[in-house]
Structure 1
Amino acid sequence: MSWFLPRTAFARAALIAAMVIGLSQALSLVFFARNAYIPGIRQAAELTVLHADLMFGEDRDPEIGARLGGAMGIRVFSKRQVIGDEAPLVFRPVVDRFRREVEALLSESVTVLYEDQRSPVLWVNAPSFKGKWLRVPMNFFRHYDRYLLIGWGVTVPLLAILAGLWIARGITDPLRKLARVASVVGRGEPTPLLDDRSGTREMQAVNKAFNRMASDMLYAQRDRALLLAGISHDLRTPLTRMRLSAEFLQDEELRAGIIADIEDMDAILEQFIAFIRDGADEVPEFESLNVLIEEVLQRHDRTDIRLELHDVPRLMLKRLTFRRLLSNLITNAVKYGAQPVFISTAVNRGEVVLTVRDHGPGVREEDVPMLLQPFSRGEKARTLSGSGLGLAIVKRIVDMHHGRMNLSNHPDGGLQVEIRLPFTGRIVPPEALSSRVR
């Protein structure tokens, strides 16, 4: 049953409203037919058969038949005077019901033709009529304007459906706003407040709860950032003293090992600080992605790095933050993969595509989703120094720029990171989001 239902709440509400209204109209028509149309059709059939018996039966009485016909408007015609035709589709159920009623009373087959008048007229013929036709006006239809009935059958459901759609939109619009703001929270951006003073009481309660949750999350993030920043800062002071002390060691091998360990620890602390900062205070500007790649590569050994940079449009980027993204990708490919490292840019389907690929063994498929989580590391990375924040920082920066990131094992070997950024990849300011939500 679920495959039949639409995917959106608005469409489901509209469908349910249409089904309820359609069922209501169908039941109304059935009730109207059983209590108005069918009794009238049955009475017209009985009078027609009575008139036929008086005019053509064995105990016929033409005088009484003429009086009855005059009172009911029933007249006798020859075949060449018949002007009836097949009934239109909308009136065919009435004609068929009338014919069945007459056939049941006469116990013989009956032919019924239709003449379109303001009050419909039926032409009736049976073998016992001796070649004559009866013109029978459906007088009871004078009380019912068929155009009014058609208008009622169309207008009432249409108005009801429009009212149902209006009610459904009143329910789904706040949910759309809630989903939009929730996506902002998921990207780690400043969260605009939802309107908790208007709308239904239920939505006011939901919006209040969401605003409290967003506020609590903001305070929790600030506390976490403050804690990590304090730890990182406090650890750097003794690391600096250890580095100075190590420089005076006489054993060169021991000195080099200690200094290497200190540098690894310092790099881990730098990753912590980068993860905390997340570029929230940086203003985005239009930048050339290819130029940023060239700038970052100046700090790396380019011997085994292959570039394939195509012309791409300038994007709205946070310069320093995106340089950190590029540096993390290149460092990750060189450190945990194998050379050469391929870096390419291209335009595809309205997006700028950045691809970084190494030639290492790749990763297990089940480890791919885990690599984007903070402090998670692949199988090979566990034997090397690192914080497990490199790709998590990249993912956060990509989300900040409204892009998409995909990790996969290349068919020819190695891990491939593909980042897609929209041409209109602007960093949406919080006030703009707030104006759309309120």
Structure 2
Amino acid sequence: MSRTGGRLRRWWHRQSLRTRLTVIAATAIAVSVFAAFQVASELLDWELRSTAEEQLRADSRVLAANAERAGLAQVQLPPYPGSGLLMRVVLADGSVRVPDGQPSLPPVSEGAGLVVQGVSAELMESGDSDDDGYLVYTLRVADGAVQVVRVADDSSVNRFGLGMLLIGLLCVVCGGLVGRAVARTGLAPIDRLTAAAVRVARTRDLDAGIPDEGGGEIRQLIRSINDMLAALRDSRQAQRLLAEDAAHELKTPLTSLRLNIELLIRLDRRGTLDSALPSESRSRLLNDLGGQVAELSTLVAELTDLARGDVGDENTELLDFADVVVAAATQAGSRVPDVEVALDVSSVWVSGRPAALQRAVLNLVDNAGKWSPAGQPVQVRLRAEGAAAVLEVDDAGPGIDAADVPRVFDRFYRADSARALPGSGLGLSIVQRVVDAHGGRATVGRSARGGALLRVELPAARLIAGNDTAVR
């Protein structure tokens, strides 16, 4: 049984949606017809039985009236007509009288005997003979009883059942055809949607949207797929722009690095390296090469981080943002010892990815450190404001020009005044991406010291007392 059920399930899952709808429609109609047949058969049987019982009562009253006038022992019984109604008279001593030529009837039942004895006035019984069912109505008359028997005729019920069966088969066939037609019509938008999706997959043309047709769930599905195609199109465009920008940004440091290395190789081959480049110039050139390699390494790391399109594979966890800020400030101090960082942080819990947040804070501190004059620390403040954790990083540098503010967080964007400083223009873009991924907001303004003020707002986590969980 289980094996058969498994085969049926596998067969069902292999069928198309159109075939499934057709089978479901035909099955539903078949079940409906069967239920209707059962109900109609019961109603018809009840109606026929009720009619037969009323007829038996009427016939027994006629016979009882005759028996009252002539007496049970002398009443004239009509000859048996050959079919239909059967009757008999039951006398007080238990003997019976039947019409001439009438077939034998079942023995007088115990219940009918009680009617003969006067315990009850009447009794309607049903039973089965050798060939057919029958109804027996016993009516008390004088010191005996009369009985009228009618053999049940199931021919009308059988004809009705045959008719219902034929009608049911016809309905099932018509239901299957109608279900097939409805499935074909209803799934036509799905077929066109599938064809469009196959075309997009084959041609890689994400600009070819799917026509918005149909209604309800179909239209919602088409719009969702169009939104997905638009997202893929934007992602591919962003990747193309990233590759173009990366190639442009890498071209200058790679060219400079290649020219300097070629110069060293050429002088070394000629044996004039020491004479052409004094020790001081050679040291300066090697330092430049080291700086360019470090800048390329930073640029490649930032490009790799940015090209992933997310904030890494970290799991989101509940953390104290103050710990992240302190760790980032400590890392920035170890990387650039000349930059002083002044911390003013308070504990604020957030739900986020610690490594990504630390990278964002580090980029903010590094950016401020490039502009801070000697003796002027980078001020880092963290506090809670309502339902947000607010981080502010400001410097005492020249600030950001109003024309540059809208593009501060764009990839590879560098203000004219920053062209001579080290950097790739990706640091603040990574900050923006991390903040967006955490549902926050990053803005830029002017600090009270005249420099730039970079502000980050993240949703704070509300701790539940006695529990380690948090609600954002």
TM-score w.r.t. the length of structure 2 is 0.42
Structure with higher Rg: it is 2
TM-score w.r.t. the length of structure 1 is 0.45
